[in-house]
């Protein structure tokens, strides 16, 4: 089984960026652990600060991989183009946010992506990514 995790803008700074909100672990550290927890799942990872690069990767992968776990960062709240890309592909997508966006500024309450996703996991920290992978694994036939 193949799953792609995509992180959007500023998520390359995890561990350094606002640790009181996003924690103090880097994503690379976390990803190593996650791969160890799912030895039979091929976990690919892509991060970009650029909207077009995220869209390109969704298009390239979105007809062949088994699941995409997407944290689009702030593009979640702004990008119709990203939502269209998620809507265009056949691979199911789970939207993840590390923080509970609903407890934060009101501009974070709306997501253009949620309606195109199979589900959303918010506010559970990095554990949200693990839960998303677990879900896809459970869907395997």
Minimum CB separation of residue 4 from ligand DQA in Å reads 17
Nearer to ligand DQA, 98 or 133 (CB): 98
Minimum CB separation of residue 60 from ligand DQA in Å reads 22
Minimum CB separation of residue 99 from ligand DQA in Å reads 3
Residues 57 and 6: beta-carbon distance below 8 Å: yes
Residues 69 and 3: beta-carbon distance below 8 Å: yes
Nearer to ligand DQA, 108 or 137 (CB): 108
Catalytic residue among 40, 45, 50, 97: 97
Residues binding ligand DQA (CB under 6 A):
10, 71, 73-74, 76, 97-99, 101, 108
Q: For the chain, what is the total number of helices (H) and then of strands (E)?
A: 5, 5
* 127-139 helix and 27-37 helix, angle to the nearest 10 degrees: 30
For ligand DQA, the nearest residue by Cβ is: 73
How far apart CA 106 and CA 126 sit, in angstroms, is 22
Q: How many CB atoms lie within 10 A of CB 127?
A: 14
For the question of residue 97 being annotated catalytic, the response is yes
For the question of residue 102 being annotated catalytic, the response is no
Residues with a catalytic annotation lie at: 22, 97
């Amino acid at each position: 089984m193949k799953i792609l995790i995509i992180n959007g803008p500023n998520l390359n700074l995890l561990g350094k960026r606002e640790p009181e909100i996003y924690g103090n672990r880097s994503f690379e550290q976390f990803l190593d652990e996650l791969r160890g927890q799912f030895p039979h799942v091929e976990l690919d990872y892509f991060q970009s600060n650029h909207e077009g690069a995220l869209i390109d990767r969704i298009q390239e992968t979105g007809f062949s991989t088994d699941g995409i776990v997407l944290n689009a960062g702030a593009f979640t709240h702004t990008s119709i183009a990203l939502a269209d890309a998620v809507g265009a592909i056949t691979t199911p997508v789970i939207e993840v946010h590390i923080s509970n966006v609903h407890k934060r500024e009101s501009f974070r309450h709306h997501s253009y992506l949620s309606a195109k996703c199979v589900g959303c996991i918010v506010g559970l920290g990095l554990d949200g990514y693990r839960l998303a992978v677990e879900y896809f694994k459970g869907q395997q036939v």
